[in-house]
């Protein structure tokens, strides 16, 4: 007997839940009391699978609460649900409509379960994300130095020094967290062994790409957002473009590809061959990102480091 799908639209303070096939949408609070009531309702339905959209963190408590009682939950990219809505001709958007839509999306696509992160994994991801935010702020402050009044220069410079110290502290904390977990420590060492990949890139991959080594290279590339999609119609061959994916990870990997195109013999040769074929530099670097991910994926799957691979 197949499980029924329940869609939950997650908000900061509330949850709207719909069982596929029913027009009724129930409201629950997005708090401990609301989670208990939601669990009771779901358990009363029998075998169900729940699907929610990733909402930047608001979904984590309810996802954890459902997994704790054995209810499978799939956390999906909101863009996929929105594109699904367009395919169904649904343009309106309310919490109740979204709940029904998410339930329908689950029934049609049947996404795999998304087990919740451990507290250590959540904290590691938070360290990586906070470091990324601070790097952006430091860049903004440095840009201000060229136009700021002289009277403000020392104030901005002090702020830059303060944030750079925080960035360093976060990098050290993330590194320490990884060293405490044997699986993450081994993964980070494998990734860091590739010439062009540094500790920051390795830490980011450990925190934000746990699927590495567990999926095909094509799926890994699509997850990160470096897989080119065809745009063909009849005899017309449109320009391939990348879309979606994990933007923060992609930014870090781009810098790694830039470094690898100079110091990694395999990636450098690949990069130069693309340029000789007339590819634009940015297009060639995205292709290098994709190739690096493919190599890393194979390395992790085989339990190897770069030094074992032919260069």
C-alpha distance from residue 67 to each of 106, 166, 190, 263, 293 (Å): 17, 34, 31, 45, 31
Q: In this predicted model, what pLDDT tens digit does every residue of 232-255 receive, in sequence order?
A: 556 656 566 666 678 889 999 999
pLDDT above 70 (res 229): no
Q: CB-based burial of residue 276 (10 Å sphere; 0-12 exposed, 13-18 middle, 19+ buried)?
A: exposed
Distance CA 87, CA 23 (A): 20
Confidence of residue 79 (pLDDT cuts 50, 70, 90): confident
Q: What angle do CA 268, 272, 273 make, to 5 degrees?
A: 115
Confidence of residue 301 (pLDDT cuts 50, 70, 90): very high
Distance between CA 13 and CA 203 in Å, rounded? 33
Round to whole Å and give the CA distance between 289 and 291.
5
Contact (Cβ atoms closer than 8 angstroms) between residue 141 and residue 173: no
Identify which of 135, 157, 131, 133 has the alpha carbon closest to the alpha carbon of residue 144. 157
Q: pTM for the complete prediction?
A: 0.79
Q: Which two tokens stand for residue 190?
A: 């494998």
Q: What is the DSSP letter of 31?
A: S
β-sheet with 14-19: strand ranges across:
26-29, 14-19, 4-10, 48-53, 72-76
Strand, helix or coil at 7?
strand
Q: pLDDT band at 1, cuts 50/70/90?
A: very low
pLDDT band at 90 (very low <50, low <70, confident <90, very high): confident
Q: Say if residues 221 and 290 touch (Cβ distance below 8 Å).
A: yes
3-state secondary structure of 152: helix
Q: What is the pLDDT of residue 311?
A: 41
- The answer to whether 244 and 77 are in contact (CB under 8 A) is yes
Q: Give per-residue pLDDT as tens, 181-192.
A: 999 999 999 999
Q: Assign 16 to helix, strand or coil.
A: strand
């Amino acid at each position: 007997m197949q499980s029924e799908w329940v869609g939950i639209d997650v908000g900061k303070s509330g949850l709207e839940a719909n069982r596929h096939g029913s027009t009724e949408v129930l409201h629950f609070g997005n708090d401990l009391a609301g989670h208990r009531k939601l669990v009771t309702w779901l358990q009363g339905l029998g075998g169900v699978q729940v699907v929610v959209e990733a909402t930047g963190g608001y979904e984590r408590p309810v996802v954890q609460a459902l997994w704790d009682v054995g209810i499978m939950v799939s956390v999906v990219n909101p863009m996929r649900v929105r594109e699904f809505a367009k395919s169904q001709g649904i343009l309106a958007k309310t919490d109740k409509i979204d709940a029904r839509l998410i339930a329908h999306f689950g029934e049609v696509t049947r996404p795999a379960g998304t087990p919740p992160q451990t507290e250590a994994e959540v904290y590691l991801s938070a360290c990586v994300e906070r470091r990324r935010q601070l790097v952006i702020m430091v860049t903004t402050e440095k840009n201000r130095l060229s136009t700021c009044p002289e009277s403000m220069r020392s104030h901005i410079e002090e702020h830059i020094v303060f944030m750079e110290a925080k960035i360093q502290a976060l990098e050290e904390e993330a590194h320490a967290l990884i060293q405490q977990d044997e699986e993450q420590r081994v993964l980070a060492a494998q990734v860091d062994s590739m010439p062009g990949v540094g500790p920051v890139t390795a830490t980011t991959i450990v925190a934000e790409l746990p699927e590495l080594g567990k999926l095909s290279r094509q799926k890994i590339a699509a997850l990160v957002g470096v897989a080119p999609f065809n745009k063909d119609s009849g005899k017309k061959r449109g320009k391939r473009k990348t879309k979606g994916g994990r933007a923060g990870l992609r930014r870090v990997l781009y810098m790694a590809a830039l470094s690898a195109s100079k110091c990694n013999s395999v990636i450098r040769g690949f990069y130069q061959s693309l340029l000789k074929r007339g590819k634009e530099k940015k297009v060639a670097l995205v292709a290098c990102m994709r190739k690096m991910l493919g190599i890393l994926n194979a390395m992790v799957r085989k339990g190897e480091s770069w030094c074992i691979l032919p260069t």
